[in-house]
Structure 1
């Protein structure tokens, strides 16, 4: 990842509604989880989720990221069990973790099945994996290319990967449903404009306070709805599976 882009990414992780909304959803998925479980976040970035989990009383927390800058940012937050490591081949013992979280990591794997098999091995029997990943290849833009993505996913494709790697699916749903149709329209016109300008750039935009509040409010409302339903479409897709 480009150094300038990475610094911008880490900066926006703290306040951008999309990151805040996803962390809010993950915390909801973890309700009822034993605080003593050994948890690994694959691709922990600057450690914002691990920091929140620590505040919620989870103490046995580990993280890995391929970026040295990300690892250093985590350690500055007092999250010590964070290591520079490739998500495609995490160097841990078999059957080591009770829970693994991988938020927007699978799409970075050249061989997603091989990577998930590695994750399966380091989970304890009965352990759970939570995966978030971008949805639908027709939403592909230069933002995916800048982020070195190999694919976007559908529920069917993600379910099949879970199946062939040995996981039992507990739940799978799309996420960011409310903003799906605006995103489709915006990305269509953006794609046309980019082709005309012959230039690429990321989609990490700063928002004013009102826009942030509205965007985050919509995502948190959707997270509440996900208590009762699964969405048929969305900008992202997530799965909760068990070894």
Structure 2
């Protein structure tokens, strides 16, 4: 079984998650009109950190193999389903929106996962996908999170098209923080062999003024990524629709 992703106890109030939600919210507002009863699948939801963005848009089903994750999401109002990201227990065309937000990099069978998500989308549905970008940035957090890979823009585009998707948006994001994050990753690289110990970087809380600065620096990109491609970033964001044959 292909499991995943965010840790079950990720802090939804962490500046990183809040900024990402702001960006996802604007992309969905600008690009994905949904009816009031839209069926939404949140793949690998972890503790449900993205439910505040998804739940107001329709009926959310969360798919994971981790019981703790599903319990957390059920407590937040989602319908939990235990299942595999590469062989989900749903009929073809079941969903108008699939959110796979920092999930694909955790899956060995990435091709099977993308094909499965294509199967699950209605003909007019959309896939909202985010992944960590650029192998140059490989670091401690990737090891702790059990990532298999990071992605380049061209590589991700090719994989989505091969799975039967047409791209509407594909852009880097978390661009303004790229330089300091790259510098930190490079500085820490000699210590990667010790990366299996210690807590997640996303569990680290900073003084509130610094967290607010980081949040606003990251979240300001919400005004750009709906219509513009950013040339470089820590992550990649794709919005794709199924090719209808």
Query: Would you call these one fold, judging by a TM-score over 0.5?
Result: yes
- CA–CA distance in 2 between the matches of 1:208 and 1:237? 28
Report the count of equivalent residues.
233
Alignment check: 8 A CA contact 1:194 1:200 kept: no
Equivalent position to 1:19, from 17, 39, 51: 17
Deviation at 1:233, TM superposition (A): 0.7
- CA–CA distance in 2 between the matches of 1:14 and 1:233? 25
Q: Please give the root-mean-square deviation of Cα atoms over the aligned residues, in Å.
A: 2.0
- Structure 1 window deviating more from structure 2 (100-109 vs 134-143): it is 134-143
Render the CA deviation track for 1:22-77: whole Å, top value 9, x for unaligned. 111111111143332211111111123224433x3x33221112211111111222
Matched residue, 2:38 = 37
Equivalent position to 1:151, from 134, 149, 152: 149
In structure 1, the gaps of 5 or more residues are 1-5
1:177 lines up with 2:178 in the alignment: no
Deviation at 1:172, TM superposition (A): 0.1
Deviation at 1:228, TM superposition (A): 4.1
Matched residue, 2:64 = 65
**What's the secondary structure of 1:14's corresponding residue?**
coil
- CA–CA distance in 1 between the matches of 2:157 and 2:174? 19
Render the CA deviation track for 1:125-152: whole Å, top value 9, x for unaligned. 1211010000011111232122121110
- CA–CA distance in 1 between the matches of 2:228 and 2:140? 32
Deviation at 1:193, TM superposition (A): 4.2
Alignment check: 8 A CA contact 1:107 1:151 kept: yes
- Structure 1 window deviating more from structure 2 (60-69 vs 116-125): it is 60-69
- CA–CA distance in 1 between the matches of 2:159 and 2:84? 20
1:115 lines up with 2:116 in the alignment: no
TM-score (norm. length: structure 2): 0.88
TM-score (norm. length: structure 1): 0.88
